[in-house]
């Protein structure tokens, strides 16, 4: 079966650089796949991609050895199953609030006896190989988003769920939950403390820790804090920033 390179990077003590896909296009997914990320996450929660765009995007990512992840729209076993059947090697699940949520999420990603994932890997067999079903439980990465007060309160309960590989911090929802509002790259002392507690507890228990960031500068600092999965911005944001920067340089340079 095809190895999950995200796991290999973690095993070697490395940090995974993740890119985020909001644009529901196979071509932009292909462009991002050739940009140097280790993994790419197709966002079904807040991005336009739906199940219809996922397969062509995964095919585009498969032109490289970048590892395909998806963020599910919710802790919904049916959607998670379809994403895995399509060949996603990792699932990020939003709004995990406690141990029970985490158990349901991990169970949806694992074939029996470890979980209750239904059998039918229609494309995962092509991507992973004919022995996919036998190796999927060990290959697929499960990441629970920590972005609510409840999740912070039951952090140890979540981290102790067998089969959970990693946590992923959502700074906007966590900020809303703690009364600071949405936003990336948080500096409020309460947020810094919460983010530090999440990464510290996860790494101490041998789990990986990821975070969504808005800049390479902040992502670098998060690597220094112990995060070993950092996401920077998104395809749409990077395109908008690059385009706006180019247009603004030339706007100012035009003869008046
Ligand atoms: C959040 O910041 O809440 C996220 O879910 C990041 O996408
Ligand atoms: Mg969120």
CATH of the domain at 236: 3.20.20.60
Q: What is the pLDDT of residues 11-69, one digit of tens each?
A: 999 999 999 999 999 999 999 999 999 999 999 999 999 999 999 999 999 999 999 99
pLDDT tops 80 at residue 107: yes
Structural domain span for residue 75: 5-253
Active site annotation includes 46: yes
Place 252 in a pLDDT band, splitting at 50, 70 and 90.
confident
pLDDT tops 90 at residue 256: no
Give 74's strand partners: none
Place 3 in a pLDDT band, splitting at 50, 70 and 90.
very high
Q: Which ligand is nearest to the CA of 183?
A: 1
- CB-CB contact of 250 with 35 (8 Å): no
Distance from the alpha carbon of residue 112 to the mean position of ligand 1, in angstroms = 31
- The phi, psi pair for 255, rounded to 5°, reads -65, 140
pTM of this prediction exceeds 0.95:
yes
51-61 helix and 26-33 helix, angle to the nearest 10 degrees? 30
Q: Measuring CA to CA, which residue among 44, 152, 58 is closest to residue 97? A: 152
Q: Is 214 in the pocket of ligand 1 (CB under 6 A)?
A: no
- CA-closest residue to ligand 1 atom 4: 170
Distance from the alpha carbon of residue 169 to the mean position of ligand 1, in angstroms = 7
- CA-closest residue to ligand 1 atom 5: 170
- The rounded mean pLDDT for the chain is 97
Q: Which ligand is nearest to the CA of 175?
A: 1
- Give how many domains the chain has, as a whole number: 1
Please give the structure tokens belonging to residue 254: 């035009």
- Tell me the CB-side half-sphere exposure of residue 41, using CA atoms within 13 A: 33
* Whole-angstrom distance, CA of residue 78 vs CA of residue 80: 5
Percent of the chain having pLDDT more than 90? 98
Give me the mean pLDDT over the 110-123 stretch: 98
Give me the mean pLDDT over the 96-105 stretch: 98
Distance from the alpha carbon of residue 222 to the mean position of ligand 2, in angstroms = 18
């Amino acid at each position: 079966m095809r190895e999950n390179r995200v796991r290999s990077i973690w095993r070697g003590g490395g940090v995974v650089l993740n890119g985020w896909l909001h644009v529901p296009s196979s071509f932009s997914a292909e462009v991002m796949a050739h940009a140097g990320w280790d993994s790419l996450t197709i966002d079904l929660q807040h991005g336009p991609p739906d199940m219809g765009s996922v397969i062509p995007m995964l095919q585009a990512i498969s032109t490289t050895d970048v590892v395909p992840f998806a963020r599910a729209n919710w802790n919904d076993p049916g959607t998670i199953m379809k994403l895995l059947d399509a060949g996603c090697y990792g699932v990020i699940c939003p709004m995990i609030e406690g141990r029970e949520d985490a158990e349901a999420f991990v169970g949806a990603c694992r074939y029996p006896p470890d979980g209750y994932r239904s059998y039918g890997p229609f494309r995962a067999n092509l991507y992973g190989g004919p022995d996919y079903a036998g190796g999927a439980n060990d290959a697929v990465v499960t990441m629970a988003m920590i972005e609510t007060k409840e999740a912070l309160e039951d952090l140890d309960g979540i981290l102790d769920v067998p089969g959970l590989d990693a946590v992923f911090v959502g700074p906007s929802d966590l900020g809303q939950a703690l009364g600071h509002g949405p936003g990336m790259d948080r500096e409020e002392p309460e947020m810094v403390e919460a983010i530090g507690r999440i990464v510290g507890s996860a790494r101490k228990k041998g789990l990986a820790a990821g975070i969504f960031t808005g800049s390479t500068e902040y992502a670098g600092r998060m690597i220094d804090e112990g995060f070993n999965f950092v996401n920077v911005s998104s395809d749409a944001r990077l395109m908008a920033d690059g385009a706006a920067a180019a247009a603004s340089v030339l706007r100012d340079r035009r003869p008046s």
